[in-house]
């Protein structure tokens, strides 16, 4: 599994990345982007990984759940449907749980 390296310790948690993605792409395409991140987790991920969606490019990747905890102090709920939205230029992130 190839994990991506994010600067989570320097990033700020926000609540607006999902609404920005919806506004920019529309509901259908934003949901498709999140489903692709979840599909990557299903195909290549492990129990210790978390899918990431880069909001500017809709690129997807995986990070370790413990990396998020270690670098931000935030707990990561276990279970399916968790996606980390991340903005590299702004160093912002939003953790979401999506229904499949």
Residue-number span of the structural domain to which 86 is assigned: 8-97
User: Is 1 part of any domain?
Assistant: no
pLDDT of 13-71, one tens digit each? 999 999 999 999 999 999 999 999 999 999 999 988 999 999 999 999 999 999 999 99
User: Is 34 part of any domain?
Assistant: yes
User: Is 3 part of any domain?
Assistant: no
| Tally of domains within the chain | 1
Sheet with 12-13, strands from edge to edge, namely: 12-13, 92-97, 82-87, 49-54, 60-64
Q: For the whole model, what pTM was predicted?
A: 0.90
């Amino acid at each position: 599994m190839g994990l991506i390296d994010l600067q989570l310790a320097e990033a700020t948690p926000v609540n607006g990345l999902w609404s920005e993605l919806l506004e920019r792409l529309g509901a259908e395409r934003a949901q498709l982007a999140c489903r692709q991140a979840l599909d990557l987790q299903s195909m290549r991920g492990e129990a210790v990984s978390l899918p990431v969606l880069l909001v500017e490019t809709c690129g997807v990747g995986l990070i370790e759940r413990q990396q998020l905890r270690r670098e931000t102090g935030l707990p990561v709920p276990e279970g399916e449907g968790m996606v980390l939205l991340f903005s590299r230029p702004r160093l912002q992130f939003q953790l979401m749980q999506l229904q499949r």
